[in-house]
Amino acid sequence: MAAPGDVVVVSNRGPVSFTRADDGSLIPLRGSGGLVSGLSPVVASTGALWVAAAMSDPDREAAAQGTMDVDGLRVRLVDIDAVTFTAAYEVVCNANLWFVHHGLFDATHRPAHDHRFDAAWASYRHVNVAMADAVAKEAPEGAVVLVQDYHLTLVARFLADLRPDLRCVHFTHTPFTDPDGLRLLPDAAATEMLAGLGAHVACGFHTQRWADRFVACCTERGVTAPPTFVAPLGPDPDDLASSAASPAVATASQAITSLAGGRRLVVRVDRIEPSKNIVRGLRAFDLLLTQYPQWREKVTFAAFIYPSRETLPEYLAYRQEATSTVAWVNERWGTADWVPVVANLGDDYPTSLAALGAYDVLLVNPIRDGLNLVAKEGPLLNGHDGVLVLSSEAGAADELGDAALVVNPFDLAATAEALHRALTMGDPERAERATALRSLAAAHSPHTWFDAQVAAAEPNGP
């Protein structure tokens, strides 16, 4: 297996981003998002080089420093012209690939590709070339290159010419679309993407479902699929426990206790993201209160939902829909003493950890999700034998499904029933399920996940 120093990680968003202080100096900030938080501790402990895109002007300025040491990580930011980067990231990655893989397009109206898509796809190709160039310059002889996610499907194809000594493995953190969904992309782009993935020595996914769909897409398009492997990410239980032990979480826990006010607590923690299905979750809660009057004034739904990708109109509209649905439910059922849904839109990590520690029921109901780390973090943090209501369409359902209450995310009635069942479940069953969830959620760590990718580069695979 490759020595740790001979591994290069490549992702779009890196573990560090920069902001400019009043005096003009550059200040490093920890990168955000699940991919970065999962990878950072492992990469720091292995000494691997991490190559990422410069995503802002301060990042581009910092990129001029070359390879940097930030919080124990060796990071190389790649300076890509802002217009090119934005077209690739926002148009191709966020507005198309994300929508295709998560099944979010409403095909009656969208997508409708014109010449602007072709121009944005050329930018996407350009970003992939720039990232491949940077890796080609930095990677040690014979290194294993771990390419992350849908932003960078073409890197291996370009690296094959520049550095044939490197072995590239791709890992997709999102779901992978099926062949019907892939037809929502222009054919040339879809086939180029598959051929780019096909240039890796192996492609990894969080669950067999997404691996099978990738292979089905390749088969339909006549692309030779490389070997695939399944390596679900899991949280690091020790890291989580030490974060949860901080004074900030203790303070936030008191606030959660007073928010619940002795009532049962349903919690969700998500980015405001159409795939997370926040609005249907609220409507299912409304249905619970309609069908089961005994829960009125007896349960609070605390929704920790924080804004994301607000340059996309769909995300702004979804945020608006989510907040107006919160207001609608509260107007319908709220009393002088009880606010049924408390929505917190601040991206506040200690409060999210405190809420996960305190829930009676955790609602994770995405339309489709590569894995969903919250579904694993919740059971590891929770101290109440809380019940997990989990979408069948989250990759994590394949691991946690036996211990969670699994629901079809489009079925509001079934979701309301599952919430009722979770709230009425007897202590022995709650304890049994919570114990099982804890052990399933801890079965894979960031280290086992990282090692599986490195092993996939070996001739005999993982």
Binding residues for ligand G6P (CB under 6 A): 12-13, 33-35, 149, 173-174, 370
Q: How far is the CB of 445 from ligand G6P (least distance, A)?
A: 17
Q: How far is the CB of 421 from ligand G6P (least distance, A)?
A: 29
In three-state form (DSSP H/G/I as H, E/B as E, the rest C), the secondary structure along the chain is CCCHHHEEEEECCCCEEEEECCCCCEEEEECCCHHHHHHHHHHHHHCCEEEEECCCHHHHHHHCCCCEEECCEEEEEECCCHHHHHHHHHHHHHHHHHHHHHCCCCCCCCCCCCHHHHHHHHHHHHHHHHHHHHHHHHCCCCCEEEEECHHHCCHHHHHHHHCCCCEEEEECCCCCCCHHHHCCCCHHHHHHHHHHHHCCCEEEECCHHHHHHHHHHHHHHCCCCCCEEECCCCCCHHHHHHHHCCHHHHHHHHHHHHHHCCCEEEEEEEECCHHHCHHHHHHHHHHHHHHCHHHCCCEEEEEEEECCCCCCHHHHHHHHHHHHHHHHHHHHHCECCECCEEEECCCCHHHHHHHHHHCCEEEECCCCECCCCHHHHHHHHCCCCCEEEEECCECCHHHHCCCCEEECCCCHHHHHHHHHHHHHCCHHHHHHHHHHHHHHHCCCCHHHHHHHHHHHCCCCCC
Distance (Å, whole) CA 297 – CA 293: 9
Residue closer to ligand G6P by CB (options 35, 244) is 35
Residue closer to ligand G6P by CB (options 13, 167) is 13
Q: How far is the CB of 213 from ligand G6P (least distance, A)?
A: 16
Residue closer to ligand G6P by CB (options 207, 253) is 207
Place of tokens 């094959």: 160
Q: How far is the CB of 18 from ligand G6P (least distance, A)?
A: 15
Residue closer to ligand G6P by CB (options 79, 90) is 90
Residue closer to ligand G6P by CB (options 386, 395) is 395
Residue closer to ligand G6P by CB (options 35, 70) is 35
Amino acid of residue 153: T
Q: How far is the CB of 358 from ligand G6P (least distance, A)?
A: 24
Residue closer to ligand G6P by CB (options 35, 353) is 35
Q: How far is the CB of 35 from ligand G6P (least distance, A)?
A: 4
Query: In this structure, how many other beta carbons lie within 10 angstroms of the beta carbon of residue 39?
Result: 27
Distance (Å, whole) CA 274 – CA 179: 22
Residue closer to ligand G6P by CB (options 36, 185) is 36
Contact predicate 57/81, CB 8 Å = no
Residue closer to ligand G6P by CB (options 370, 378) is 370
Q: How far is the CB of 17 from ligand G6P (least distance, A)?
A: 10
Residue closer to ligand G6P by CB (options 76, 420) is 76
Q: How far is the CB of 33 from ligand G6P (least distance, A)?
A: 4
Using Cβ positions, the residue closest to ligand G6P within the complex turns out to be: 173
Work out whether the CA dihedral 113, 118, 119, 125 comes out positive or negative. Answer: positive
Q: How far is the CB of 13 from ligand G6P (least distance, A)?
A: 4
Residue closer to ligand G6P by CB (options 34, 307) is 34
Q: How far is the CB of 62 from ligand G6P (least distance, A)?
A: 17
- Beta bridge partner(s), residue 364: 390
Q: How far is the CB of 423 from ligand G6P (least distance, A)?
A: 29
Q: How far is the CB of 90 from ligand G6P (least distance, A)?
A: 9
Distance (Å, whole) CA 204 – CA 306: 29
Place of tokens 């305190």: 358
Of 261, 258, 194, 268, residue with least CA distance to 226: 194
Residue closer to ligand G6P by CB (options 148, 228) is 148
